[in-house]
Amino acid sequence: MTGRSKPKGHVVADAVAEELVRRAAAGDAAARRRLVETTIDGVWALAMRLVRREDTADEIVQETYARALANLADWTPRGRFEGYLARIATNLVLERWRRARPAVPLDPHLASPAALEPWQRLADEEDDQRRLAAIWEAVQRLAPEPRAALLLYHAQGESCDSIAGILDVPVGTVKSWLHRARIEVRSGAEAFLRGRP
């Protein structure tokens, strides 16, 4: 596998996180703040890679911490606190995707350079930008769970085991979703770029 990287942001050492969570759950405001400060970059990066909109990512991050801090007693030291946050954030994104209306048919104008998101402009060549835009359009037309699996794997750099933990499904299901999603995205983007959406 090439070009995949682990999520950015601080990683809180397990023992430190455990102590912080224990103090935060007891009502220590400083511990709550430190817990948020040390983990928020990772949650933000995850939210952005899933939704690719800053305002939506802001909402996801805030709601993630509101839920996590209100239920600190639910976190068990068996797993990493970042994993707990990732599960909450991903489930919040899934809830939004399930509520969203079905995607409209692919619009050729969406992939024009003027309509590109900032991250898609990172590619140097216009063809590369159009291809990234077409891939993103195809990704947005996937069903919520395969879409989450695909983005967690390819954009966030999580392993299949880790994704299974985040989505609370067997590893085999994650692999099946990934396989199907890759084929759908490839054929969708290809059809789009060849002018037959």
Partner 1 sequence: MTSECERIEQLLDREEAPALPADLEAHAASCDVCQLRLAIARDLGERLGAGALPMGARRAAIVERIVGAGGLAQRRRRTIRRVWVAAAVAAAAVVAAIVVLWPARPEPVLPTEVFAAMLGPFAEAPAKEEAGVPAPAEQTSPLDDALGLFWNDLEGPVGLARSALDVPRAAVSQPPVTENK
Residue 103 dihedral angles phi and psi, to the nearest 5°: -65, 140
Rounded to a whole number of angstroms, the minimum distance from the CB of residue 193 to partner 1 is: 6
Judged by beta carbon, residue 32 or residue 106, the one nearer partner 1 is 32
Task: Look up residue 3 and give its two tokens.
Answer: 């070009």
Tell whether the torsion through CA atoms of 54, 100, 132 and 50 is positive or negative: positive
Count of beta carbons in the 10 Å neighbourhood of residue 188:
20
Rounded to a whole number of angstroms, the minimum distance from the CB of residue 33 to partner 1 is: 5
Judged by beta carbon, residue 143 or residue 183, the one nearer partner 1 is 183
Rounded to a whole number of angstroms, the minimum distance from the CB of residue 34 to partner 1 is: 9
Distances (CA, A) of 85 to 47, 74, 136: 11, 12, 25
Judged by beta carbon, residue 174 or residue 193, the one nearer partner 1 is 193
d(CA 135, CA 196): 15
Binding residues for partner 1, rule: CB under 8 A, are 1-5, 8, 29, 32-33, 36-37, 40-41, 44-45, 48-49, 54, 58, 61-63, 65-67, 69-70, 118-119, 122-123, 128, 131-132, 134-135, 139, 151, 154-157, 179, 182-183, 185-186, 189-190, 193-194
Rounded to a whole number of angstroms, the minimum distance from the CB of residue 120 to partner 1 is: 8
For 141, the 3-state DSSP assignment is coil
Rounded to a whole number of angstroms, the minimum distance from the CB of residue 66 to partner 1 is: 4
Task: Look up residue 175 and give its two tokens.
Answer: 């692999």
